[in-house]
Amino acid sequence: MPKIIDHDQRRREIVAVAKKLIIQGGFEAATMRSIVAEAGFANGALKRYFPSKDSIVAATFQSVLAEMNERIGESDPSPDPKAALRHDVEATLPLDRYRIDSARVLLALWEHSVANEELATLYREHLREWRRRLAARIAQARGKGEPADAPAVTDLAGEVITTTIGANVTSLMFPDGALIPEYRSYVDRLMRNIAD
């Protein structure tokens, strides 16, 4: 009887290998040859799942963004608007080894996406959705009856996104997590000042 292969599972395994290689050695380390070797596939078997490195990169980029969205959506946030906002902000900051590694992968793929309009569009859409969700959370947490598109709300959403992206970039220079206390302090300050 022929062996049954779960092709979706194989694709997930390949993406996991690509992430691992990027974490260890940057974007250049995730070559088709290194992915095949690390995944334990025969030469040519990888093309059955991904026809090119670009297709693996696209799947890896989508995977990292999906994981970020899953972290934000993990467990139903508290009905308290401030607790729900804190949850969403902390979900996007590099507050543990896993998120620091995810930042390394995402940043390696950002550079690649500059020359790939499909990936750039995917990331721009992610940013728009992130800003929309964050603005809604901020408006609720401020408790002033403001709409999510009020200037004070959108300014705060932009600040959080810019700070988060900066924290993810900076965390690459401190992969031991030395800056985690600083990031937690930022969240505490944000939550104290959210109603101003």
What average pLDDT does the structure give for the chain? 87
Q: Mean pLDDT lowest for which of 20-29, 75-84, 85-94?
A: 75-84
Tally of residues, the chain: 196
123 pLDDT band, cuts 50/70/90, is: confident
Query: How far is 189 from 159, CA to CA, in rounded Å?
Result: 13
Q: Which pLDDT belongs to residue 95?
A: 95
pLDDT score recorded for residue 179: 96
pLDDT in tens, 103-122: 888 888 887 777 888 888 88
Mapped to the 3 state alphabet, what secondary structure does 22-46 carry? Answer: HHHHCHHHCCHHHHHHHHCCCCCCH
- pTM higher than the cut 0.85: no
The token pair that represents 99 in the structure block: 């998120």
**What is residue 75's predicted lDDT score, i.e. its pLDDT?**
58
Is the pLDDT reported for residue 3 higher than 60? Answer: no
Weakest mean pLDDT among 52-61, 126-135, 160-169: 52-61
pLDDT at res. 94: 94
Amino acid sitting at position 96: D
Q: What is the pLDDT of residue 69?
A: 79
- Tell me: pLDDT of 21 over 60: yes
- Residue 196 is predicted with a pLDDT of 67
